[in-house]
Amino acid sequence: MTDDPKDTTTPNTDNSSTESQGSNASPMPKREVKVTELVANDGILKGKKTDVQNPELWQFPMNYPMSIIGHEGEHESLLNEVKLILGSQFPEFDLASMEVKPSKTGRFHSVRANLYLTTVEQVNTLYAALDNAKTVRMVV
């Protein structure tokens, strides 16, 4: 049994393994886990999920480095989709300055870009477009 929530293996519930370990080995007690229901936008988020929540903490204008991580096997389409998004929202941005790097295992690729942002609306629009992109897994 692991702590991984995606682990779908079922734990061994029979006592045959504890019997073979000796008479002083006792089975692990079962713990009850209570799961609460989470409601999206439960009064905590203001606006959309991609909107900046504390705009007063941002100082504009600013250089804003970001890594856009793509889904497995989507290297070329990730780069093309990010170029379309950044090119349409930042016409002065040099698309050739973007760096593409594979992960340690090579399963994923990330596109790194350094943007010059002047307003919080630019951030909201950018994150909304990246959230809707099919090839984007995560933005850091």
Angle between helices 120-132 and 75-89 (to 10 degrees): 150
Q: What is the mean pLDDT of residues 29-55?
A: 62
The whole-number pLDDT of residue 36 equals 53
Which letter does DSSP use for residue 96 in this model?
G
User: CB burial class (10 A; 0-12, 13-18, 19+) of residue 139?
Assistant: middle
The CATH class of 55-139 is: alpha beta
* CA–CA separation, 75 and 10 (whole Å): 35
Q: What is this structure's pTM? A: 0.63
CA angle 33, 138, 82 (to 5 degrees): 165
Where residue 122 falls among pLDDT bands split at 50, 70, 90? very high
User: What does the pLDDT look like over 96-107, one tens digit per residue?
Assistant: 999 999 999 989
Q: Where are the domains of the chain?
A: 55-139
